[in-house]
Amino acid sequence: MAGNKTTALSLGILGPGLIGATLLDQLRDQAPNLKEHFRIDLRVVGIASSKIMFLDESAVDLSKWRLEYNDRGTETDLRSFISHLQQDHFGPNKAIVDCTASADVAEHYLEWLKLGIHIITPNKRANSGPLEKPFLGESCPLRIALSEVCFAWLFSLSYTDMEMIVKFTSSVRLTAGTLSYIFNNLTGDRTFSDVVKEAKAKGYTEPDPRDDLSGTDVARKVVILAREAGLKLELHDIPVHSLVPQELQDPKLSVEDFMKRLPDFDEALSSRRKEAESSDEVLRYVGVVDVLNNRGSVELKRIPKSDAFAQLNGSDNIIAFKTARYNENRLIVRGPGAGAAVTAGGVFSDILKLTSNLGAPS
């Protein structure tokens, strides 16, 4: 509840690509309802990609944002984008929603926070970067929501929730995104390369599937969660089991050639899988934050079929918290973890959480 008064929030959306565009459409569909029933007034005052930006004094008409953006957009200048957002259009509350995956954009977070701008983002670059450049800390009064850490879920954790959950945690295990999809679907007589091909066709992988299969994405999540739990881990501290065969890691190898040669390596994984199956287990690609032993890892693990991690379907992701209190039975959240609608939904949920906190009485 945000109280009797309406809480307004001016939003600058960076990266109107697949996720950003879906978010803009979700905002378009929900904004009238939010205003009427929840007294939350969300207004997009600017949209920018790395090339084009569109600013509007009176909030972008979201029913035709694509048209406006394409017809009236000018060359992107982040500085003027920010100073436009800073103007007192609709009250003091401002947020950048960073839907890019850009490290360059993440470089600016600290600067923007200092200007009093909240940041909401599924961009994992920021908080898994080098520790000497922290931008989250006890001195930061602003909210940064880390949707992507906990995947594309409505239950996405804000930094505040994270404090509560992770600080008391002894371990966190997770599966994530593309790799969860791949191993959930590696059943029957399907081969690894076959499922990778399918995931690529469905748009679940990066254009180059090696970006997923390398495990770096999962490792970033492990680093972010580990840091939330108070561990000082860097990305290079996390041993990562890459699923890209060494022979195919050469960046000069084209995506096409990679996909063509991948079936040659199916046998190795197939035999691991058969081995697992003969003990009533399945293979899962799992990230682990081991708080007690101060380490993280990203591994291809054998999981008993009776375990919740083995019982995933489709694009389901899962995260399990083991704590002093949730010990014998873990606390488990499971849900669809891929696709633009669901990811944008997580970001949307973080925007609402931010708004609700802005409006809290004090």
Instruction: Return the active site residues.
Output: 221
As given in the structure block, the two tokens for residue 54 are 């569109």
Considering the rule CB under 8 A, would residue 203 count as an interface residue with its own copies?
A: no
Distance CA 333, CA 308 (A): 10
Interface characters, 143-182, with its own copies (x: CB under 8 A)? x---------xxx---xxx-xxx-x---------------
Contact of 9 with 93, CB cutoff 8 Å: yes
Residues 19-48 that bind its own copies (CB under 8 A): 37-39
Nearest distance in Å: CB 311, its own copies: 6
Residues within window 301-320 making contact with its own copies, judged by CB under 8 A: 306, 308, 311, 313-316
Contact residue for its own copies among 58, 246, 293, 329 (CB under 8 A): 329
Contacts 24+ apart (CB under 8 A), 164-168: 165/321, 165/323, 166/225, 166/228, 166/229, 166/321, 167/228, 167/229, 167/230, 168/323, 168/324, 168/325
Stretch that binds its own copies, among 1-9, 61-69, 207-215, 279-287 (CB under 8 A): 1-9
Site membership for its own copies, residue 356 (CB under 8 A): yes
Minimum CB–partner distance for residue 360 and its own copies (Å)? 4
Bridge partners, residue 106, by sequence: none
Binding mask 115-144 for its own copies (x = CB under 8 A): -----------------------xxxxxx-
Quick one: tokens of 96? 């950048």
User: Six-digit token pair at 319?
Assistant: 């995260």
Report the alpha-carbon distance of residue 152 to residue 159 in Å, rounded.
Answer: 15
- Cα–Cα distance for residue pair 28/298, rounded to 1 Å: 38
Which residue ranges make up the site for its own copies (CB under 8 A)?
A: 1, 3-4, 37-39, 92-93, 138-143, 153-155, 159-161, 163-165, 167, 306, 308, 311, 313-316, 321, 323, 325-326, 328-336, 341-342, 345, 349, 352-353, 356-362
